[in-house]
Structure 1
Amino acid sequence: MESNIIRISVRNLVEFILRSGDLDSRFTGFSRAQEGTKAHQKLQKEYKDKYSEERQVQLEEIDQTKNIRIEYNAEVSLKHTFEYKDFSFVIEGRADGIIVKDEEVTIDEIKSVTRPLEFIDENYNPLHWAQAKCYAYIYGVQNNLSHINVQISYYNLNSNTTKRLVKGFDIEELQQFLFFLLDSYYFWANFTRDWMVKRNISIKNMSFPFEAYRKGQRELAVAVYGTIKEGKKLFAQAPTGIGKTISTLFPSVKAMGEGLIIKVFYLTAKTITRTVVEETVLKMGVAGLQLKTITLTAKDKICFQEKSSCNPEDCQYAKGHFDRVNEAIKEILTKENIMSREVIVKYSDKYKICPFEFSLDLALLADCVICDYNYAFDPRVYLRRFFDSGEEDYVFLIDEAHNLVDRAREMFSAELNKSSFLELKKVMKKVAPKIARALEKINSCMLGFRKLCEGEALEKDSIDGYSDINTELKMADKNVYIQKKEFEEIYPLLRRFSSEAEEFLTSNEKTENQEELLELYFNVLTYTRIAELYDEHFVNYLQKINSDVKMKIFCLDPSHLLREAMKRAKAIILFSATLSPMNYFKEILGGTKDDYSVRLLSPFSVENRKLLIADRVSTKYKHRENTYSTVSEYIKAAIDNKVGNYLVFFPSYSYMERVYEDFSEKYPGYGTIIQKNNMVEEEREIFLGNFQEGNGETLVAFAVLGGVFSEGIDLKENRLIGAVIVGVGLPQLSLERDIIMDYFNKKNSSGYEYSYMYPGMNKVLQAAGRVIRTERDKGVILLIDERFGNRTYKNLFPKEWHPNTVVRSARDIQNNINDFWRK
């Protein structure tokens, strides 16, 4: 990548240079984007029809041999390289429309508004004109025009009327304007060029930040680099200890230095992982790397206000935000390389600017962006400023990719409850009668849906192949109704409510029950957006809960939507210690037969751990009541030989609590702690703070499989010397799991495996992975469940779980562990 080439979109250039004043995110109607798109399409069709008819009339009325140009082209991509001073600026964007009538050309920019059109004139928004003028100049230069028109078409979403403002420009005038923008951007262009030179030299000279590669580390790094170079997708199972963060980040940075990619997105599911990435970049910094890295934090977690209120009246950081933000960007980029949450907050407070918006601006200029999965995949919140302009040379490094399965299902699903509409209707009756009437119609519709749950329509054909499962559910008295078809009759009612709510909220800033109205409005908006994605990978279901009814669009198989979202990057690297079975994860995470995969062996010696399987105990739900005493005895046997810290994992809170009570009563000499449901961050830190090396006494910590302590924690250096895992980790029996099972049974005859077995075993593998974290660690792992002795489960064991030992009693456990610690 040549350092004097600067690529920037028209929109980003215009907004970065010309923005000013307050940050104001007060409610303006968040379905505006959807309606704005429809407004664009409506006007574009009108133009196309109009000019097509006009051309036909002229052809009929005049000499048909004359060359007549009357046409309208919508969504025209424009891209041009401008040499300015010592830079080549590659400027690109998309014009809403281009009108050609003989020799006259007009660039049309469509903007949707709710403000009455009589209050809109040519001074309404200078940024609208600026953007259109840039498109006009690019088109004019490329078509050798000396004059061109610019038209702003304002479409009022409430009245469905249009106001068009037109100005004519000589090409020299437009050139002066564009070069004014480029001149204003010159500092940032210089900074970007100088930084890229400095960064790329540092990358070239950077050595691997450790003395030597661990076993498997070089293999993973080579696979990542090759995948980026080829612009493909890699699924990598890399056991604990290989060093997945450095093994994926190091080759990605090297690829950036060679111009193969322009930005790294490191995507995670957990906050603790983001800290690990920052620490890894610091280590590469010690090895000579210069890299601008930013960590994005959710708005509600980084906001200075107790309640996020992005408007200048309520927040001093919103008032004048755009007047100060560029100076803040200039200073932070000059002084900092790693822009963590704490660093962002420090500069935001200094310049009195919004930390969240500040971080989004910095992401545009950063080399590496560390953020949650949502920012790349969630259709509601993904970073449009990066991903809506077409494919770019990005790489997605997707850490702990096994978590993306359930997270993706959540992102692509949506639900509504009848009670929300009924309760809000009661309070809005006097305040906003129109909204109350809209809510009443939705409530009535959902009353009809409730009857489906009560079995009144199970015999109808509309359930589209779900008759068997519906009948089974009814027999089990689960009050559920499932159908493949959408509940389309409610869509116009939801849109009506959204429209009434928007009109009310834009006119009534601070009213009673505003928060409840906003919350329901956003829930409805989410539901209607997800409905637009609906296809054969979804199902609809209704569930009666007492007098209430839940209506949900449920994503059964997120593979297609993930595959499409992954096209936002040049290369995709999905990695985890527990990406097994590989074929399952490749299928469910949007992989194809052309994607690469690699399975790496653990770098740790099997001599450092003892794996025991107690397969004479059934922990199935129906047997659990009879196992409390036996499980307690087995835990005692596992911890009795060596003083230290142990974790015991259970498939549910209730099972854990019963065994905890039994163990504490029988063996009061041991220190015990237990995980509570919904622990806040401070409570989690206190829990983990108990795991200190050299306590002088044994600690037994009771926790839940799949919870916050079964993955993502790093208890090195003898802070944890053993784990007992009770059960095979099956997700709790539930309606949604059963629906997933039914779907995959029909698709590939692997419903139980996809819905229960594989997700459950993944939890077990993650929990077991807490024990050995470095080459110096030693520890024991005890698996308690008869199913661990079955071939189907043994086939899911990773290679490092061999050899293992089957134990038949508490004494057998104690003897084996005693021998292990004596070695």
Structure 2
Amino acid sequence: MKEIKISVRGLVEFLLRTGNIDNRIHHAPDTAMQEGGRIHRMIQKSQGGDYEAEVPLTYSITRENYILKIDGRADGILRKADSPVLVDEIKGTYRDLKKIKTPDEVHIAQAKCYAAIYLRDNDLKEISVQITYCNIDTEEIKRFTYDFTAEEITAWFDDLLEAYHRWADFMATWEDKKIESIHRMQFPFEYREGQKDLAAGVYRTIYHGRKLFLEAPTGTGKTISTVFPAIKAVGEHKAERIFYLTAKTITRTVAENTFDVLRNQESLEFKTVTLTAKDKICVLDKSDCNPVACPCAEGHFDRINDCIYDLLTSEDDFNRDLIMEYAAKYNVCPFELSLDMSLFADAVICDYNYVFDPFVYLKRFFSDGIKGDNIFLIDEAHNLLDRGRDMYSAELWFETLNNTRLLIEQAHPKIAGLIKSCETEMQKIMAFTDYCEVLVDISPLMQKIGNMSKIISKWLEDHAEGQYRDDILDFYFDILTFETIYELLDDKYVIYAEYEDESFKIKLLCVDPSENLKLCMARAKSTILFSATLLPIQYYKKLLGGTKEDYEIYAHSVFDPGKCGRIIATDVTSKYTRRSEYEYRKIAKYIHDITTEKSGNYLIFFPSRIFMDDVGIIYEKEFFDEDTQEILVQNEMMTEEDREEFLSRFTPGNDIDFGSIINMEVEVEESKSILGFCVMGGIFSEGIDLKEDSLIGVIIVGTGIPQVCNEREIIKEFFESDGEDGFDYAYRYPGMNKVLQAAGRVIRTENDTGIVALLDERFVQRAYADLFPREWKDIKLVSTSTVKNTVNALWSGLDDNLN
């Protein structure tokens, strides 16, 4: 008979929550949990020999088709002669204990659950529970004690379990339907060449509990090839839940569609939820989570469980639209609703940060270092490196300190004085920093910051409202972020100080995020990291937390290489030392000569916006023909609607006016070629799917290497000291990934034909050419004098191949 498991804490927090969402109530930071462990141990050791610490307790109740199992660990159980057994629940807090008049109801309920289980196990007539609060700073203790008869505590506990049975009944029934449907499920398409082996490799990785680094070129069907075996593994009880992790919204849509295909074509019973960022799903223009500002926040917890049950029993795909619909129906927060639905989902589709970010990860799954039976599917995994660096790095700006102090010093002189002491320490560092300086020790500054953050935390607890409270809260979060990252510092970090645009900052730079990412991946049974561009794979394997025992696969492209012509221009470059009007004109002529050989749609990627503008001005002035071409330009700030409109112009027959995003408002005939001027590494260089005639060519200007700056130089020096090629790690590999991602826009299906033009002489160098995918064969070298004839010949060959 199957088991439905829930922890004591999870049970009471889910069933007994009531009231409002209120961000004005300040909660202690996560460091309280770490300090709380110390407090637990201190109190437990002080209780003497009659006190047993960390007592595991389990209670099971058998239903018709399942066993409900509740388990947990009591902080302490005190047995004294002539006194009832006492169950102790210890809570560390930063709050002033004098202001705690009664214990939190959830804390009492947690202790009562442990007491009810212990009483039944030991056939007791009565039992006591105690809530012990201990101030983490002062170690002051305050206790609340309650006595219960056996009848009272068991009746209360049975009522609590009865309230949970409708959820457990549903989950047990759903589990049977899900597993049966998975066993019936077949692969929904005809296997492409090598795809069955690829899916098998994913399944084997999950079976052995390893990580897989998968380079899967466009056309290999990497999404279905990872999702299908992961679901099969769930069906064989190798895992409980799938997390499909992405860096971009568009790839989340691909994952949603893949699960939908399996539900519709293969009758799969599988519940999925898509987590959308709070600011994108909030009913307010700017999220403000309190009952005064938001009608959804008032009484949210009184209504949320009924909403969850309705959605859970009515739908299988908890996508953004459905989350919004049900949230409106019950007047609850859509963001919180989506998080709650993740508890009941078989697959969670979400951004990387819900697993990896130390500040916003899903604590309901990953707190306390528990390793779950999860599968992580990490799409576009090449993005995880820079995202990992960002998530585990932090900056402290002198201006943040100074501006906050000046703002609040009249209203809050004590806090302002603490900020001033931090400014003074920072000024000492500024005094010996010329332009950029690597720092060895900032402990004096961190001591000042630690003292300040504790005082601010206490002030926020005591003041739900007040002058400049929002400003102080924002400042507190900035400081807390810096403190938290500082606690993570190890030999994979570099601390540096830098003047930037007349501002000054200290940065805790996570140069190598591999250890932090590895710890997060340990929360899963198995992790599959996949991308169309994961070369060189050892570079990514090293920096994304791989080990020697983990697997790697290079999937062969299923597309005919003869359907894509590739050229390298040998007489132009984007090198900074060669940038000039003369060079820009040659590049503009290349673009003209390539795009006029065959009418159609092209994307042209530039190394920067400034470079794009410089070439664009010359192209428009000297080569642009408004009768045969239209130019679309990627703007610096584009909404999702702007992006969709930009891309929709590449669809034949679209006659919508997009004057807001194109650089000239003209009526466009179908026969006109569309040239999209874009920035490499930007929103249009990966994750977009322009098939067949929507796009016939990609032109890439430059090698994509990041601009030289202090931080990139620090990264370079770090890896050189580690025995690696620093330039490769800091510049060449990240740049080539942008190039390969951009090149991957042009051939999306086996029916597509197109060309890829690399406009930089450096691509002929072995250091770059060795990074080309193995299917890039027969690349033509061209010059300004030969490019037209070569492109013409390529198209003739491609057209013959197509016919």
Residue 657 of structure 2: aligned partner:
none
Distance 1:245 1:647, change over 3 A: same
Tell me, yes or no, if structure 1 residue 638 matches structure 2 residue 597.
no
Superposed, 1:557-636 pairs within 5 Å as: 557-625=512-580, 626-636=582-592
Tell me, yes or no, if structure 1 residue 27 matches structure 2 residue 6.
no
Deviation readout 1:522-549 (Å, 9 max, x if unpaired): 1101000111111111111111235531
Verify the 8 A CA contact 2:568 2:779 in the aligned structure 1: yes
Superposed, 1:669-708 pairs within 5 Å as: 669=625, 670-693=629-652, 695-708=670-683
Letter of the 1:311 partner, please give it: N
Q: Which of 466, 469, 479 pairs up with 1:524?
A: 479
Residue 665 of structure 2: aligned partner:
none
Residue 61 of structure 1: aligned partner:
none
How far is 1:562 from its partner? 0.6
Q: Which moved more, 1:213-222 or 1:235-244?
A: 213-222
In structure 1, C-alpha distance between the alignment counterparts of 2:601 and 2:53, rounded to whole Å? 69
Distance 1:494 1:239, change over 3 A: same
SS for the counterpart of 1:611 is strand
In structure 2, C-alpha distance between the alignment counterparts of 1:809 and 1:232, rounded to whole Å? 50
Residue 132 of structure 2: aligned partner:
153
Verify the 8 A CA contact 1:235 1:596 in the aligned structure 2: yes
Distance 1:116 1:806, change over 3 A: closer
SS for the counterpart of 1:401 is coil
In structure 2, C-alpha distance between the alignment counterparts of 1:502 and 1:120, rounded to whole Å? 16
In structure 2, C-alpha distance between the alignment counterparts of 1:605 and 1:166, rounded to whole Å? 75
Deviation readout 1:5-45 (Å, 9 max, x if unpaired): 101111121122222222223231443x3235424423531
Residue 750 of structure 2: aligned partner:
775
Verify the 8 A CA contact 1:21 1:319 in the aligned structure 2: yes
Residue 325 of structure 1: aligned partner:
304
Tell me, yes or no, if structure 1 residue 265 matches structure 2 residue 243.
yes
How far is 1:515 from its partner? 3.1
In structure 2, C-alpha distance between the alignment counterparts of 1:232 and 1:77, rounded to whole Å? 30
Distance 1:323 1:652, change over 3 A: same
In structure 2, C-alpha distance between the alignment counterparts of 1:533 and 1:495, rounded to whole Å? 15
In structure 1, C-alpha distance between the alignment counterparts of 2:342 and 2:98, rounded to whole Å? 39
Deviation readout 1:667-703 (Å, 9 max, x if unpaired): 1213212222232323222221221226311111111
Residue 279 of structure 1: aligned partner:
257
Residue 45 of structure 1: aligned partner:
42
Residue 319 of structure 2: aligned partner:
340
Q: Which of 59, 62, 79 pairs up with 1:83?
A: 62
Tell me, yes or no, if structure 1 residue 199 matches structure 2 residue 178.
yes
Q: Which of 396, 411, 430 pairs up with 2:410?
A: 430
Q: Which moved more, 1:809-818 or 1:388-397?
A: 809-818
In structure 1, C-alpha distance between the alignment counterparts of 2:418 and 2:483, rounded to whole Å? 16
Tell me, yes or no, if structure 1 residue 310 matches structure 2 residue 289.
yes
How far is 1:800 from its partner? 1.2
In structure 2, C-alpha distance between the alignment counterparts of 1:171 and 1:144, rounded to whole Å? 9
Q: Which of 646, 657, 673 pairs up with 2:613?
A: 657
Distance 1:98 1:453, change over 3 A: farther
Tell me, yes or no, if structure 1 residue 394 matches structure 2 residue 353.
no
Q: Which of 218, 221, 226 pairs up with 2:199?
A: 221
Residue 57 of structure 1: aligned partner:
none
In structure 2, C-alpha distance between the alignment counterparts of 1:295 and 1:169, rounded to whole Å? 44
Residue 359 of structure 2: aligned partner:
380
Residue 17 of structure 1: aligned partner:
15
Query: C-alpha root-mean-square deviation of aligned residues, in Å?
Result: 2.1
Distance 1:397 1:453, change over 3 A: same
SS for the counterpart of 2:522 is helix
Verify the 8 A CA contact 2:393 2:510 in the aligned structure 1: yes
TM-score in terms of structure 2 length: 0.93
Superposed, 1:243-262 pairs within 5 Å as: 243-262=221-240
TM-score in terms of structure 1 length: 0.90
Tell me, yes or no, if structure 1 residue 107 matches structure 2 residue 87.
yes
In structure 2, C-alpha distance between the alignment counterparts of 1:173 and 1:85, rounded to whole Å? 27
How far is 1:47 from its partner? 3.4
Deviation readout 1:620-673 (Å, 9 max, x if unpaired): 111121411111111112112211100111111111111111111111213212
Deviation readout 1:247-286 (Å, 9 max, x if unpaired): 1111111111221111110000001111111111111111
Verify the 8 A CA contact 2:53 2:74 in the aligned structure 1: no
In structure 2, C-alpha distance between the alignment counterparts of 1:406 and 1:546, rounded to whole Å? 23
Q: Which moved more, 1:423-432 or 1:689-698?
A: 689-698
Residue 403 of structure 1: aligned partner:
383
SS for the counterpart of 1:554 is strand
Verify the 8 A CA contact 2:589 2:623 in the aligned structure 1: no
Q: Which moved more, 1:382-391 or 1:270-279?
A: 382-391
Letter of the 1:682 partner, please give it: E
Verify the 8 A CA contact 1:559 1:589 in the aligned structure 2: yes
How far is 1:385 from its partner? 0.6
SS for the counterpart of 1:163 is strand
Verify the 8 A CA contact 1:402 1:585 in the aligned structure 2: yes
Taking every aligned residue pair, what percent have the same amino acid on both sides? 43
SS for the counterpart of 2:471 is helix
Distance 1:387 1:171, change over 3 A: farther
Distance 1:78 1:552, change over 3 A: farther
How far is 1:775 from its partner? 0.7
In structure 2, C-alpha distance between the alignment counterparts of 1:583 and 1:140, rounded to whole Å? 56
Q: Which moved more, 1:531-540 or 1:149-158?
A: 149-158
Verify the 8 A CA contact 1:613 1:806 in the aligned structure 2: yes
Letter of the 2:694 partner, please give it: R
In structure 1, C-alpha distance between the alignment counterparts of 2:608 and 2:100, rounded to whole Å? 60
Verify the 8 A CA contact 1:610 1:817 in the aligned structure 2: no
Q: Which moved more, 1:258-267 or 1:161-170?
A: 161-170
Letter of the 1:576 partner, please give it: S
Deviation readout 1:275-316 (Å, 9 max, x if unpaired): 111111111111211211100011121111222222222221
Verify the 8 A CA contact 1:237 1:575 in the aligned structure 2: yes
How far is 1:79 from its partner? 4.4
How far is 1:242 from its partner? 1.1
Letter of the 2:297 partner, please give it: A
Letter of the 2:768 partner, please give it: Y
In structure 2, C-alpha distance between the alignment counterparts of 1:22 and 1:515, rounded to whole Å? 19
Distance 1:573 1:546, change over 3 A: closer
How far is 1:500 from its partner? 3.0
In structure 2, C-alpha distance between the alignment counterparts of 1:653 and 1:771, rounded to whole Å? 22
SS for the counterpart of 1:579 is coil
SS for the counterpart of 1:647 is strand
Verify the 8 A CA contact 2:192 2:220 in the aligned structure 1: yes
Q: Which moved more, 1:760-769 or 1:76-85?
A: 76-85
Verify the 8 A CA contact 2:32 2:93 in the aligned structure 1: no
In structure 1, C-alpha distance between the alignment counterparts of 2:69 and 2:25, rounded to whole Å? 35
Deviation readout 1:535-585 (Å, 9 max, x if unpaired): 111111111235531011110100011111101011100000001111111
Verify the 8 A CA contact 1:317 1:353 in the aligned structure 2: yes
How far is 1:70 from its partner? 3.5
Distance 1:778 1:547, change over 3 A: closer
Give ranges in structure 1 of 5+ residues lacking alignment.
55-68, 455-478
Verify the 8 A CA contact 1:70 1:100 in the aligned structure 2: yes
In structure 1, C-alpha distance between the alignment counterparts of 2:330 and 2:583, rounded to whole Å? 61
Residue 430 of structure 2: aligned partner:
450
Q: Which of 778, 783, 802 pairs up with 2:777?
A: 802
In structure 2, C-alpha distance between the alignment counterparts of 1:436 and 1:23, rounded to whole Å? 30
How far is 1:425 from its partner? 1.1
SS for the counterpart of 1:770 is coil
Distance 1:685 1:803, change over 3 A: same
Verify the 8 A CA contact 2:35 2:136 in the aligned structure 1: no
In structure 1, C-alpha distance between the alignment counterparts of 2:557 and 2:233, rounded to whole Å? 26
